[in-house]
Amino acid sequence: MDKKVSTRKEKEQAKTHSEEYVKELRKKMKVLDQRKRELRAAIRSVHDGIYDDQVREGIMDLLCMNVGRNKVNDVIRTVLQKLAKKRYQPTAFKSC
């Protein structure tokens, strides 16, 4: 009889442990889903092969500040990584 009681307790403990584990995994999934949404919302600079107006303005501002045309992407990437903690993988800058 004691074996049945202890076995039942062990099963209940295992079930409780499994439920807690599932809850923990669900919390982790929510965090990962949120992170995935954040990464998908990464900065897109080109839509249908055309730079966004904001990106174009930023590029023009950098060029007016005498940033070399071949350094514009590096400057944008560095500023976004350091200040906004965003990844930026632009296409090559093309002259207008």
Q: What is the pLDDT of residue 41?
A: 62
Specify the length of the chain in residues.
96
Q: What does the alpha-carbon distance between residue 50 and residue 48 come to, in Å, rounded to a whole number?
A: 6
Q: What is the pLDDT of residue 93?
A: 46
Give the domain ranges of the chain: 1-41, 46-84
Reply yes or no on whether the pLDDT at 95 is more than 50.
Answer: no
User: If you ran DSSP here, which 8-state letter would residue 80 be given?
Assistant: I
Per-residue pLDDT reduced to its tens digit, 39-67: 666 666 666 767 778 888 988 999 999 99
Instruction: Give the contacts of 93 (CB within 8 A, at least 6 positions apart).
Output: 59, 69, 70, 72, 73
Q: Nearest 5°: phi and psi at 43?
A: -70, 120
Nearest to 91 by CA among 60, 53, 47: 47
Per-residue pLDDT reduced to its tens digit, 19-39: 888 889 999 999 999 888 776
Higher local confidence (pLDDT), 81 or 32: 32
Place of tokens 């400057």: 75
